Amino acid sequence: MGDPMRIRATVTGDVVEVKVLMRHDMETGQRKDLEGKVVPAHFIKNLQAKWKDKVVLDAQFGPSVSKDPFLSFKFKGGVKGDKVSVTWTDSKGDQRSDEAAIA
């Protein structure tokens, strides 16, 4: 399991903007270590964001996404105090879930 995500969600009018910083090495499987051995691929494959048990973002990532990915997205309907949860699953089956309240 990776380090906790940093999630910020703010509402302006009826639009909620969510910003997520995910801590993950995101190895492509093409890099070599100091001994010349290939570092195995290990990257976030799926990401899902929910608000009130409703999926507001469903994304698929590949090995070309940079280390510690940052993601920003918007959705309508949330109000201050509602919770937004973000869950990712990586290529090794590891999973991380975190949530934040809308400010």
Q: pLDDT tens digit string along 46-100?
A: 999 999 999 999 999 999 999 999 999 999 999 999 999 999 999 999 999 999 9
CATH number at 70 reads 2.60.40.10
CA 70, CA 82: separation in Å to the nearest integer?
A: 22
Tokens of 60: 């698929």
Residue 12 lies in a domain: yes
Amino acid at 102: I
- What pLDDT is recorded for position 3? 86
Residue 89 lies in a domain: yes
Residue 1 lies in a domain: no
Q: Number of folded domains in the chain?
A: 1
Range of the domain at 81: 6-28+39-101
Residue 33 lies in a domain: no
- DSSP conformation letters of 28-87: -S--B-TTSPBPPPB-EEEEEEEETTEEEEEEE--TTSPSS-EEEEEEES--TT-EEEEE
Strand partners, 10: 17
User: Global pTM?
Assistant: 0.91
